[in-house]
Amino acid sequence: MFATHWQWCTNFIFMNLDDRVAVFRELGEKIKSLSKDEIGDLSNKAKNTNPWFIEENVTNALEGISFMLEEEKLKKWTSSYTISENIPKVVGIVMAGNIPLVGFHDLLCVLISGHFAAIKPSSDDHELTKTLIQWIEEIEPRFKKNLEIRDQLTDVDAVIATGSDNTSRYFEYYFKDIPHIIRKNRTSVAVLDGNELPEDLSNLGEDIFSYFGLGCRNVSKVFTPLGFDLRDVFPHFESFDNCIDHHKYRNNYDYHKSIYLVNKTPHLDTGFLLTISTDDLVSPVSVLYHQEYDSEENLSKVLEAQQDKIQCVIGKGYIPFGDAQRPELWDYADNIDTMKFLLGLGD
C-alpha cells in the first residue's frame, strides 16, 4: 500500500511555502469575487447530484472558505509550525459529502504542508470538489503535478478519512498499516444559561439550521437550566422557517412528527422544527434534542462523558453563538492537529 515514490516524484513539483500560501490567498480572493450568477450555476450543478446543496448552502460554504483564506490568517496559521521542505509523501484524502466542500480543509493542509494529495471526493460532493481543484490549478498550474482525484486510494503513504461510524471501521482496517486520521460521526451542542440576548438566540438558529443541520458542527442538542421554557426560544427561530419548503427536510419533519404522535412521545412543534427531551445526543434532521441541567458541575460531567461524540460546544464561555459553521484554520476537526500529523510524516 505504500507508494513507490519513483513512480510519481519525477512529476511532483517542489514549491516553497510562500508560493503555496499565495495560491490559497488568491483562491480566497477569487471566491469573494464570484458573482451571484456564477454561484447559482455552480449550485445548480451540485444540486443535481445532492438535493441538499441548495444555493444558500453552497454560498455559505464558499464564504466560510474565503473567511479562512485571508492573508493574515494564513500567515498566522502557518507561522505556528516548522514547515520544512522534506521529501513529500502521498497522502490520501477520503472526503465526506454531508455539507458542501467539507473536505476542503484537509486538502488545504496536505498541500500547504508540501505533500502530494490523492483525493477521493464523496459522490455527493464531487462537482464542487472538482471545481475547487480546477480553480487551484488555474491559479497555480504547478499544482496539477501535486494533486490528483482518484477512484481508489491505493499506493498512499498516509490517509485522512472522514465518514460514518460504520465506514470508520472499514477505514481503520484497510489503512491500519499506514499513518492515518480516521474521523467518525460527531455532532455539536449548545449551552444556554437563561440570560441570552435576543441576538444570541437568533445566532443559535444559524448554528441549528445552517446546512439543514447536516454538519458535524451544527447544533443538534441544547442544554438549558432547570425550569427553562424552551418555547421562549422559538420566536427567534422564525426566520429559518423556510427550511420546511425543502422537500427532503419536509419529509424528515413529517416522518418524525408522525412517529412521535403515534408513540405519544412528548414533544414541541414549531411547524418546522420538532424538539424532544432526551439524554441522547445526535438528533435527526428537523429535530432538536433538549436536556436540562441542575448545575454547571453536573453539566460539565455530562459533556465530558460524551466528548468523543461532540465536535464543538456553543454558548457563553464556549464558541460564540452563530460561529459553529465559521471555523478558523486552526480549529481542527475532532481536536486532532492535522498539520502536526502531516508534518510528522517526514520524521
Beta-strand ranges (E) seen in 210-338 are 219-225, 268-269, 274-277, 287-293, 310-314
CB atoms within 10 A of CB 286: 23
Q: Shortest CA distance to 177 belongs to which of 159, 162, 152? A: 159
pLDDT over 70 for what percent of the chain? 97
Contact assessment for residue 251 and residue 287, using Cβ atoms and an 8 Å cutoff: no
Query: Is the pLDDT at 329 greater than 50, yes or no?
Result: yes
Which residues share a beta bridge with 182?
Answer: 161
Question: What are the pLDDT digits (tens) for 189-238?
Answer: 999 999 999 999 999 999 999 999 999 999 999 999 999 999 999 999 99
* Mutual angle of helices 36-49 and 55-68, in 10-degree steps: 120
Cell numbers for 207, please give them: 448554528
Q: Confidence band (pLDDT; 50, 70, 90) for 272?
A: very high
Q: What is the mean pLDDT of residues 155-170?
A: 90
Strand order through the sheet with 274-277: 268-269, 274-277, 287-293, 219-225, 187-191, 310-314
207 neighbors 219 (Cβ within 8 angstroms): yes
Determine the average pLDDT of the residues in 128-146.
96
pTM of the model: 0.93
Query: What is the CATH code for 5-185?
Result: 3.40.605.10
Q: Do the domains 5-185 and 187-314 sit in the same CATH topology, yes or no?
A: no
CA–CA gap between residue 207 and residue 131 (Å, rounded): 27
20-72 residue pLDDT tens: 999 999 999 999 999 999 999 999 999 999 999 999 999 999 999 999 999 99
Residue 160's H or E segment, with its range, is strand 158-162
What pLDDT was estimated at residue 159? 96
In the chain, where the domains are located = 5-185, 187-314
Query: Which candidate, 283, 286, 287, places its Cα nearest to that of 309?
Result: 283
Cell numbers linked to 216:
458535524
**Residues 1 and 154 sit within 8 Å (Cβ to Cβ):** yes
Strand order in the sheet with 180-183: 147-149, 116-120, 90-94, 158-162, 180-183
Pick the CATH number of 187-314 from 3.40.309.10, 3.30.70.1560, 3.40.190.10, 3.40.1410.10: 3.40.309.10
Q: How confident is the model at residue 13 (pLDDT cuts 50, 70, 90)?
A: confident
- Specify the length of the chain in residues: 347
Closest CA to 328 of 65, 58, 19, 26: 65
Question: pLDDT of 85-124, one tens digit each?
Answer: 778 999 999 999 999 999 999 999 999 999 999 999 999 9
Task: Copy the grid coordinates of residue 109.
Answer: 493542509
The residues pairing with 274 across neighbouring beta strands, listed in sequence order, are: 269, 287
Least Cα distance to 163 among 105, 92, 96, 93 occurs for 96
Q: Do residues 113 and 88 lie in contact, with contact meaning Cβ atoms separated by under 8 Å?
A: no
Which SS3 state, helix, strand or coil, does residue 28 take? helix
Rounded CA gap, 42 and 127, in Å?
8
Q: Percentage of the chain surpassing pLDDT 90?
A: 88
Which grid cell is 67?
473567511
For residue 215, what are the CA distances in angstroms to 10, 67, 99?
Answer: 39, 18, 6
pLDDT of residue 226: 96
| Rounded Cα gap, residues 181 and 345, in angstroms | 12
pLDDT of residue 14: 86
**Distance in angstroms between the alpha carbons of the first and the last residue of the chain:** 19
